[in-house]
A = this chain, B = another copy of it.
């Protein structure tokens, strides 16, 4: 444990952990495999046993990020006491994550990462599923599928956009939260929202 054994033991986990810290602090561009290896006390070629590519490491980070965001969204969904409450909680959880982990968020949604591996696409899909499920569960009558999807997409866009405005420094975090609150309120009170909700505004 003290002097390095030949086998590091959990190099993969250490690399992921340190890599995420670097991304968070200095951005994905600043991530260097060799620097990571040095910090972990292994040779510069060692990471290759666990990540064939630099991009493979970034992909793994993105998957981890999506999974963590998914978990937070799930928690927000559970904590919601009404449909509207759940709605606002989801939005805030999403924006909060985007603000706290802005660099990671940028990585997760960068073109080279998002489209690269099925694993990343799947993780992103699971995240969006939670968003969609949370909406579907709200209405007593199953929502019209088309309306439901449109509704979910507009919601996703608003939240994603608010997050982008915040992370790029265009608006403050408080403004970002107010944006999603406003957007959520508008959505719920719109015609489309009414149809999705099946005529009720406070389903449980």
Residues of B within 8 A of A190 (CB): 185-186, 189-190
Task: Point out the residue from B29, B114, B160 that lies within 8 Å of A169, measured CB to CB.
Answer: B114
Name the CB-closest residue of B to A187: B186
State the CA gap A89–B128 with chains docked (Å): 28
Q: Which residues of B contact A178 (CB under 8 A)?
A: 150, 153
| In the complex, residue of chain B having the shortest beta-carbon distance to the beta carbon of A171 | B153
A111 in complex: contacting residue of B102, B158, B183, CB < 8 Å: B102
Q: Which residue of B lies closest to A102 (CB)?
A: B111
Which residues of chain A from 154 to 204 have a CB within 8 Å of any chain B CB? 154, 156-165, 167-171, 175, 178-180, 182-183, 185-187, 189-193
Cα of A161 to Cα of B178 in the assembled complex, Å:
16
Interface of A is mostly: helix
A101-119: CB near B (< 8 Å → 1, else 0) gives 0110010011110110000
Residue pair B157, A115 in contact (C-beta under 8 Å): no
Q: Pull 19 A–B residue pairs with CB atoms less than 8 Å apart, ordered by A.
A: A29-B29, A29-B112, A106-B111, A109-B168, A111-B167, A111-B168, A115-B168, A115-B169, A154-B179, A154-B182, A154-B183, A156-B165, A157-B162, A158-B158, A160-B160, A160-B165, A161-B161, A182-B192, A186-B191
